[in-house]
Structure 1
Amino acid sequence: MSKFIIIITIFFSGILKAQDQYLSLNECIKIALEENIGLKRSNLNTETSKVFLRQSKSALFPNINANYNLGINNGRSIDPYTNDYIDQQLKFSNVGVDLTAQLFKGFELLNSIQRDRYNWKASEAEAEEAKQQLILEVTLAYFQVLNNRDLVELSQLRMKATKDQMERLQNLYEEGEGNPADFTDIQGQINADAASLLQAENALLSAKLELANLLNRDEDFEVDNITSDSVTPYMLSAEEVYAQALENFPGFEADRLRIDAAQENVAVAKSLYMPEISLFAQVNSNYSSVARIYTENGTEVIQTGQFITVGENNYPVQTNQALFAEEKISYLEQLNNNLNSVVGLSVSIPIFNGFRAKQQVDLRKIELEDSRLELEATKNDLEQEIKLAYNQMQTAYKNYFILQDQVEAYSESYRVNEIRFSSGVSNFVEYIISKNNLDRAKINLTNSLYEYIIRRKILDYYATTDNNLFIIP
């Protein structure tokens, strides 16, 4: 009983696992948008640009810094409390707060903020472009898997038909009837069909690996079939697709924003010609371990060392001297007593800096011109890609109907030749020619169908920014 339960469990687990391996186009796109490494890196670039924008904005705020020093000095030094020279161990401490703020430098900060804002928006547009490009790549890879899987099925059917004929010829060969060369020829055809099947299976594996790489998945999986719509004419011309791409394609928006950012960068570089006006302020204090407070607490009579002579007698001169009590000054009290502040304006006027300002402006202007050329190059490349995809789509569309008629003609020819060959009326050469013609026509028809679908998807990608376009309902 336990063995039966184990077998049933393994059986149903295998079924569930097999079911989980099948992915629809929608599921593939969803997985790619969540797991694709390239898209994640593109999103990180957007986050980096956003951080640069926050940095530019934070430059508008003043810089406020506090400092604190505590140390011991031995030997001759200056008492920071009295500014007198002393020759003893001294413990000292300094504390301060300083503030600096740029008030004006040719609007450098505002232009930097606007530049980084354009760069951030451009990164967002590039991330959207990467997202749409990924959706297109997943869609095309998905259809390529379907195309190769259909070719594998055609190769399998082709091989099965050949094996059926071989079994018939083998029976005739064993009975001593028919042409022995036909039997050996059909054996050679079996090998040819097996090689074609192996090639088709390898192409299918390569297509699945490409799709798996886009999804960032290691495990094996299958894709669901898609019922293709009937092949209908494409309603837009190549010029109309290009015109819509100029309006909607995020790559163009990114290039335009990069141009705006480069213009702002020129303005930032020109600020090097302008004087800089800054506000500065400081609050400082200090402490000395030798600082004391002396308080008078009485007097005493002391000898001065001098004498007064009266007659023949000398009398010493005495005087009253004040007595003082020594008291240490606390750390906080010293900081409070020694507190001082400074506030002012600083003006820096550029006079000559080795042409650094001019060179920076020239470099930024070159970058601006390069950004403009990048936009023109993007337009030219895209126009060529659209024209190429449109011509290939038109060729595939026309070729599809030609190949349909060819398949019908070769199907009838093969049907007749198969009957004739099975009846012994015709030879193997006529049969195999007819069979190969039909097989090639079917393969070409399948390739033509998917070629048309893929080229149409590419044109739709350029003509619209609607991501749902690639999702099968």
Structure 2
Amino acid sequence: MKRILFTYLVLGLFIGELQAQDTIPLSFQEAVKIGLKQNLQFQSLNNQQDVLHMEKRSAQMGHLPRLNLNTSVLQTVGQQFQQVEGELIVVNRVNNIIEGRANVQMPIYNGGLRIKNTQATRYFEEAGKYGLSRASQEVMFNIAQQYLQVLLDEELYRIALENLENQKRQLEQIEGFVEAGLRTLSDQYNQQSEVARLETVALNAKIQWETDLWTLAETLQLGPNKLPAPQPVQMENMESAYMGRTFDELYDLAFENRPDLVQQQLLEEGNLKMVAVSRSAMLPQLNAFFNYETFFTSLDGRNFRDQFFNFFPRRIYGISLNIPIFNNFENKVAVARSKMNLQNQQLEKSALERRVTQETKLAYENFKASIKREQTTKVQLSAAEEAQRAISERFRLGVSNFVDLAQANQQLVTAQSDYAQSLYTLYFQEVILKFALGVLDVEV
């Protein structure tokens, strides 16, 4: 009895601690929405996508002329040489100078570098969008796994409590039989031991439930002393749209819809363009330019406006040709590095294609096995319920012994737990299949 009272005390403390937390009722869609908002990796990819967008804009703007303005104010002390309107002035004094320059440069030909760079950045930005799509599916997948695990833990805890209550009533019944002389004390002691064991089972189920609940809270980043209260999901068996399809059809569906696979294809195209960009740097470059320069000096007695805008402005324009001959192999290193990036990207793409095929086949096989398991555990539960009722009645009539009754109770609880696990496993296996096919719809 002391053991039972101690178990009750510990169980009560855990329940009180859980109830003392701030609980937030959440549907599955709400949990996914919070997860996408709080997930660090997903938010980092969002920030990276902003950079990819600006890189694309920068590449597009690279087709336009470059315009730069520069001004400087300086003072020289000592001997001054200043040519003013054909006269060389040499003095030893302080000279205050204000200079202004404007430079415009327009690329005419650079081996297609600008065009190829624009195409590459467009591929990279598009790949980033598909990467975000796959990342959102991964967030939803992880939350679904933890969300359903919490619901399963809660169901297993409910089964444990229900079994505990049934065995307590059974203990009261056996105590009555003992008083009436219909059962021996050994049956009573055995039942007391069973009740104490089930107290521990219920406590362990409660601890597991609370642990997984805290794990989900950490994933959702709900803050201190806040726990989610997941709402039940619809567990009705529905005919899956993917049953009955051949593996070839599923493979085609996965290769068509997997965002990460499309991302790898776009990254390969982008890196292919970057190889062309690095090679373009080895070709001659032709640029047009225009420079406007003017200044003001304190050696000239005229005012700032006349000097700066009327007398000293100078305009320079022309065309410059740059032919790379030897640059310490810097261009060749850039080409080799871009080729390496392309080859590594192709390796990643090939590995992902193989993984998509394997994941699709494994997810489909597990989904079919989960359907079969749900059917068999349903039969198992029905048979266990009938057996437990029959043996309980035989035990009441004194025909069956305590061992048979305990075994029937164990089989019933096992059947209840197996059926609950099969339901949630079936639900999650369909989520896994959709995730493997790339058709997991992230609704937020």
TM-score category of the 2 structures, normalised to the smaller one: 0.7 to 0.9
Is this contact kept in 2: 1:80–1:288, CA < 8 A?
no
> Cα distance, 1:418 vs. partner?
1.4
> Cα distance, 1:116 vs. partner?
0.6
RMSD: 2.5
State how far apart, in whole Å, the 2-side matches of 1:206 and 1:242 are: 38
**Closer, same or farther in 2 for the Cα pair 1:369/1:249, shift >3 Å?**
same
Is this contact kept in 2: 1:244–1:462, CA < 8 A?
no
- Counterpart of 2:173 (choices 155, 164, 168) is 168
In the alignment, what sits opposite 1:294? none
* Residues 232-265 of structure 1, C-alpha deviations (whole Å, 9 max, x = no match): 5733344422210101111111111001100110
* Residues 138-170 of structure 1, C-alpha deviations (whole Å, 9 max, x = no match): 333332222222111111111111111122233
In the alignment, what sits opposite 1:65? 68
TM-score (ref. length: structure 2): 0.87
SS in 2 for 1:74: strand
State how far apart, in whole Å, the 1-side matches of 2:215 and 2:141 are: 13
State how far apart, in whole Å, the 2-side matches of 1:54 and 1:433 are: 72
Is this contact kept in 1: 2:380–2:415, CA < 8 A?
yes
Is this contact kept in 1: 2:259–2:438, CA < 8 A?
no
Is this contact kept in 1: 2:283–2:323, CA < 8 A?
yes
State how far apart, in whole Å, the 2-side matches of 1:32 and 1:178 are: 57
**Closer, same or farther in 2 for the Cα pair 1:354/1:71, shift >3 Å?**
closer
The 5-angstrom pairing of residues 102-181 of structure 1 reads 102-173=107-178, 178-181=183-186
- Counterpart of 1:352 (choices 322, 326, 332) is 326
The 5-angstrom pairing of residues 370-409 of structure 1 reads 370-409=344-383
User: Identity of aligned pairs, percent?
Assistant: 22
- Counterpart of 1:269 (choices 278, 286, 291) is 278
State how far apart, in whole Å, the 1-side matches of 2:214 and 2:415 are: 27
In the alignment, what sits opposite 1:257? 266
AA partner of residue 359 (structure 1): V
Is this contact kept in 2: 1:98–1:281, CA < 8 A?
yes
> Cα distance, 1:172 vs. partner?
4.5
User: Number of paired residues?
Assistant: 418
Is this contact kept in 2: 1:37–1:216, CA < 8 A?
no
**Closer, same or farther in 2 for the Cα pair 1:131/1:97, shift >3 Å?**
same
Greater C-alpha Rg: 1
State how far apart, in whole Å, the 2-side matches of 1:150 and 1:73 are: 86
**Closer, same or farther in 2 for the Cα pair 1:148/1:237, shift >3 Å?**
farther
Is this contact kept in 2: 1:24–1:223, CA < 8 A?
yes
State how far apart, in whole Å, the 1-side matches of 2:267 and 2:440 are: 24
Is this contact kept in 2: 1:242–1:462, CA < 8 A?
no
SS in 1 for 2:63: coil
State how far apart, in whole Å, the 2-side matches of 1:25 and 1:70 are: 65
Is this contact kept in 1: 2:254–2:437, CA < 8 A?
yes
State how far apart, in whole Å, the 2-side matches of 1:238 and 1:225 are: 33
TM-score (ref. length: structure 1): 0.82
SS in 2 for 1:144: helix
**Closer, same or farther in 2 for the Cα pair 1:67/1:125, shift >3 Å?**
same
State how far apart, in whole Å, the 2-side matches of 1:102 and 1:70 are: 31
Is this contact kept in 1: 2:28–2:230, CA < 8 A?
yes
> Cα distance, 1:176 vs. partner?
6.8
State how far apart, in whole Å, the 1-side matches of 2:94 and 2:168 are: 107
**Closer, same or farther in 2 for the Cα pair 1:375/1:215, shift >3 Å?**
same
In the alignment, what sits opposite 2:341? 367
> Cα distance, 1:223 vs. partner?
2.1
- Counterpart of 2:395 (choices 421, 439, 443) is 421
State how far apart, in whole Å, the 2-side matches of 1:406 and 1:247 are: 40
> Cα distance, 1:171 vs. partner?
4.0
> Cα distance, 1:381 vs. partner?
1.3
In the alignment, what sits opposite 1:330? 303
Is this contact kept in 2: 1:241–1:459, CA < 8 A?
no
> Cα distance, 1:459 vs. partner?
1.4
In the alignment, what sits opposite 1:287? 296
Is this contact kept in 1: 2:366–2:429, CA < 8 A?
yes
SS in 2 for 1:89: strand
- Say whether 1:220 aligns with 2:227: yes
State how far apart, in whole Å, the 2-side matches of 1:115 and 1:251 are: 18
State how far apart, in whole Å, the 2-side matches of 1:188 and 1:54 are: 74
* Residues 386-436 of structure 1, C-alpha deviations (whole Å, 9 max, x = no match): 222222222222222222222222222211221222333332222111111
- Say whether 1:246 aligns with 2:219: no
State how far apart, in whole Å, the 2-side matches of 1:116 and 1:428 are: 76
- Counterpart of 1:49 (choices 32, 48, 52) is 52
**Closer, same or farther in 2 for the Cα pair 1:456/1:239, shift >3 Å?**
farther
> Cα distance, 1:37 vs. partner?
3.5
Unaligned runs of 5+ in 1: 1-16, 292-327
Is this contact kept in 1: 2:387–2:408, CA < 8 A?
yes
* Residues 280-303 of structure 1, C-alpha deviations (whole Å, 9 max, x = no match): 221112222222xxxxxxxxxxxx
State how far apart, in whole Å, the 2-side matches of 1:435 and 1:361 are: 73
- Counterpart of 1:91 (choices 87, 93, 96) is 96
State how far apart, in whole Å, the 1-side matches of 2:315 and 2:193 are: 102
State how far apart, in whole Å, the 2-side matches of 1:18 and 1:236 are: 47
* Residues 12-36 of structure 1, C-alpha deviations (whole Å, 9 max, x = no match): xxxxx99984322233333334444
**Closer, same or farther in 2 for the Cα pair 1:227/1:92, shift >3 Å?**
closer
Is this contact kept in 1: 2:360–2:437, CA < 8 A?
no
Is this contact kept in 2: 1:32–1:134, CA < 8 A?
yes
**Closer, same or farther in 2 for the Cα pair 1:437/1:360, shift >3 Å?**
same
* Residues 312-365 of structure 1, C-alpha deviations (whole Å, 9 max, x = no match): xxxxxxxxxxxxxxxx31111122211111111111111112222222212211
> Cα distance, 1:466 vs. partner?
6.2
SS in 2 for 1:235: coil
SS in 1 for 2:97: strand
AA partner of residue 229 (structure 1): E
SS in 1 for 2:150: helix
